[in-house]
Amino acid sequence: MMKVTNQEIQVDGIDKVILNGLIKNARVSISELAQRAGISGAAVHQRLKKLENSSLISGSQININPKALGYTTLAFIGVFLDKAASNPQAVEQLKKIPEITECHYTTGNWSVFIKILCKDNEHLMHLLNTKIQTISGVSRTETFISLNQQIKRQIAL
């Protein structure tokens, strides 16, 4: 059974079977998980509730394939801000750009680092020129276009 030690959540073998089953297929049935874990469906349900309450699981989601919608360019953009005080306002403006799927405060050269999905390179250039670089406090950007994602996974249990 799951334990919390020093704010770190420890999961046992049965929890790992359940979680790995959900990672592979979030739509797997409770009965299938119960069979794999060798416990009852009610026990699986109870463990899932405890894992959710512990914040180890933060919901389930459908992953949309952006390429099927025509978003063929994935890029990462390092955003340089003129001063640290600009960060919150700049991030609020970045939130208004729906093509931005992630935004992180970072150490190093950039103030923030964003992940953006675009239809093509022209779309990316348009967003850079008219939406991102026009945000107050943005001094410049550095863009990296992803050629092909090589690894995509969740943290190992």
Average of per-residue pLDDT across 112-125: 98
pLDDT at 5 over 70: no
Residue 43: CB atoms within 10 Å = 16
pLDDT at 10 over 80: yes
Average of per-residue pLDDT across 10-28: 92
Residue 98: CB atoms within 10 Å = 8
25 burial class (0-12, 13-18, 19+ CB within 10 angstroms)?
exposed
Q: Is 52 helix (H, G, I), strand (E, B) or coil?
A: helix
What percent of the chain has pLDDT above 70?
Answer: 96
- Complete domains list, the chain, with CATH: 3-53 (1.10.10.10), 66-146 (3.30.70.920)
Model's pTM, two decimal places?
0.83
96 burial class (0-12, 13-18, 19+ CB within 10 angstroms)?
exposed
- Rg value, the chain, Cα: 21
Predicted pLDDT at 157: 86
pLDDT at 62 over 90: no
